[in-house]
Amino acid sequence: FIVISGDAFTNIDLKRAYEFHKEKKSKATLVLKREPIPLEYGVVITDGNGKIIKFLEKPSWGEVFSDTINTGIYILEPSVLDYYKVGENFDFSKDLFPKLLRDNVPIYGYVMDEYWCDVGDLDSYIETHRDVFIDKNKHYLLGKDPVNGIWLGENTIVEKGVEINPPIYIGENTIIRSGAVIEPYTVIGKNCIIGENTSIKRSIIWDNVKISSNCEIRKSVICNNVIINNKSRIFEGTVLGSHSIIESYATIKPNIKIWPYKKVGEKIVLKENLIWEERDSKKLFGDRNISRKLNQNISLETAVSLGAAIGTAIKPSGNFIVSCDEYNLSKLLKSSIISGLLSIGAQIIDIKSTSLPICRLGIKYFNGDGGIFIGRDIVEEDKVSIEVLDNKGANIDKNLRRKIENLLSIEDFKKVSGDIIQDTVSIDNFSSIYLREGKKQLKFIKEIQKEKPKIIISSPSKNILALGEKYLLSIGCNVETADYNMVQREEGIHNIVLDKNGDLGIVYYNNGEEILISDGFNIVSAEKYYLLNMLIGFKTGELEKATVPYNYPRIMEKIAKEYKINIEYSKSNISEILRGLLDRENQFQYILNFDGIWASGKLIDYLIGYNTTLNRTIQELPEYFYIKKEIPCKWNHKGNIIRRLSENQKDNMELIEGIRFIEDKGWALLVPDEEKPIFNLYIEGYTEEYAEELGSFYDEKIRNMLDKAP
């Protein structure tokens, strides 16, 4: 018998070993190898004739009397198996060979001179790949001859701008995107995708692996069918088991092992082995929508069921407005969701490729019972967001979200017979109605046409960019478009406005909802933009009551007080905010905050009509000091931290949404995130120093509590 351990890599000539065995008339021959540092192996001591006289299992340096180690390759005569009794635990090294030695049965050690390496540990496994690259006698193992030290499989695509430093092996049907850097001794299997600007050093990547853009992989082993999302970092000594998923911005610390089919959530820093998965969330919905990657955590089949569940929860046989952005991925998913809605008897009005604000308008315009908008992520191109809307156009509330999740989990939706299924009504030009209705929101179109302000616009969406251009041209603006690649950083639009001597620069984001504006002096977005549009509403009299998200700066109260306007605080989730705004007859605050194209028109209308500038208006805003932070936290620690903080409730605490701590120097609000394993920390201080001090205090306090969490 010849026994070979399966965790070794070798090119031994077994014929020579067998001849040695026969020549010595050995009953058992162990194949040995000289190892400079034998401490991690079983050492075998032989006499000058090769006969084994002693075994030492993983000796210390003081016990090292030989450098010949047991390779786990044995040649055995059948008679030695008589030492084995059926049913016993029996090990060759620990049981059989010591017994043979005691009974003076002739056993010998054959010292091989070929290559051998125990690949049972990670370092040796990676080192073996390096040895194959270095030893030209083993190049045949890699297939065809390399070109300049690079083995490239058939139908593999290496885009321009890729840096490959040989020796490198890349399997067939693999794509290496522009800007990627592949360092020496890296092995990449077949059917892999390596994203833009990703850096891989001395790692072993198996088959069907997808690594997104801007990732770092360092001396790691990535098994089959693993997905690593944007800007993740995998450090040395890591092993990712097959079918595991690493979400964006995750960090895997050195020497971590992740078992197959596990998932590491977004922005998680993993410091220990992941054997039993901690789910990032059991919920389908996040705080506003369903955000999933097609064929990772939502399939087309699931999308059909989702459509049926949405229709059943909102109104079976109801009237639903459905649309998506311009991307094929969104269109594909939209078709599946429509199929599900039709299967339960719903009536569908498909307003084609539009924007989210247009979908909201469509629900109002056609008196819909609900609506669905599907949009692709700007950064992660295989990720989509599914916005489910109620009969007012607001994102559905948590009760409806929970109902849909329950229906989907048990597939409790009654499908109708074929004769009841409705035809889908398709409308190709609803955007023209949107543009017409948008012009009705403005008071000073004649003045705009006379002034002809120069507006520079940009957007990651070609559809929204074209729509914004058409709208602004229709009200009399002089419009130029800018490449989105030039404005991805906030200062980009600022610089373009200066270079082109523009009056205003606008970037349309987030399916047409959000905008960033600049006049060459200021860059306005997020909370500052919210403050700005409140001030404009107060000055024009269009805002008689203001809704403010609970996590926003309280400085807004100061503005409202000056104009004798009441403020009502809403929880920070979009459903509550929108339902409050869309219930009003005056849609000013909705338009300025949730309809980017109409908002740009309203802003220009104000500046021209009131003969003012953006810079002058911003100077009227009070100074404020507001900070936002994220604190990583495991899902199962969130409740524990909130409980411990709220146990000793004090007068300075509010428990409306999360926990708000009111201090002499300002306030801090801690809110568990709905979608990610993090806490969101919001701080406002009366001075910049106070804000930073409060932020540091609560950040450190929460992190210390997390370190001590059970």
* Domain topology for 434-615: Alpha-D-Glucose-1,6-Bisphosphate; Chain A, domain 3 (3.40.120)
Task: Give residue 263's identity as a one-letter amino acid code.
Answer: K
Q: Is the pLDDT of residue 602 over 60?
A: yes
Residues 6+ apart with CB under 8 A from 633: 641, 672, 677, 678, 679, 702, 706
pLDDT attached to residue 62: 55
Same fold, 434-615 and 625-707: no
pLDDT digits (tens, 9 = 90+) for 285-308: 888 899 988 877 788 888 999 999
Rounded to whole angstroms, the Cα distance separating 19 from 375 reads 70
Helices (H), 67-121: 97-102
Query: What are the structural domain ranges in the chain?
Result: 2-118, 122-270, 290-428, 434-615, 625-707
The percent of residues above 90 in pLDDT, for the chain, comes to 66
The percent of residues above 70 in pLDDT, for the chain, comes to 96
Q: Is the pLDDT of residue 488 over 70?
A: yes
β partners of residue 388: 372
* Domain topology for 2-118: Spore Coat Polysaccharide Biosynthesis Protein SpsA; Chain A (3.90.550)
Q: Is the pLDDT of residue 418 over 50?
A: yes
pLDDT attached to residue 634: 84
Q: Is the pLDDT of residue 6 over 70?
A: yes
Mean pLDDT lowest for which of 207-221, 275-289, 318-332, 524-538? 275-289
Would you state the CATH architecture of domain 625-707?
Answer: 2-Layer Sandwich (3.30)
pLDDT digits (tens, 9 = 90+) for 548-582: 999 999 998 988 999 999 999 999 989 999 998 99
The answer for 33, left when phi > 0, alpha when psi is -120 to 50, beta otherwise, is beta
Indicate the Cα dihedral angle 167, 171, 173, 174, nearest 10°: -50
- Provide the b/e sequence for 43-78 (b: ≥16 CB within 10 Å): bbebeeebebeebbeebeeeeeebebbbbbbbbbee
* Domain topology for 290-428: Alpha-D-Glucose-1,6-Bisphosphate; Chain A, domain 3 (3.40.120)
pLDDT bucket at 142, cuts 50 / 70 / 90: low
pLDDT attached to residue 280: 43
pLDDT attached to residue 336: 96
pLDDT attached to residue 65: 61
pLDDT bucket at 279, cuts 50 / 70 / 90: very low
pLDDT attached to residue 122: 87
pLDDT digits (tens, 9 = 90+) for 75-95: 999 988 888 777 777 788 888
CATH of 122-270, one of 3.30.300.30, 3.40.50.2300, 3.30.2350.10, 2.160.10.10: 2.160.10.10
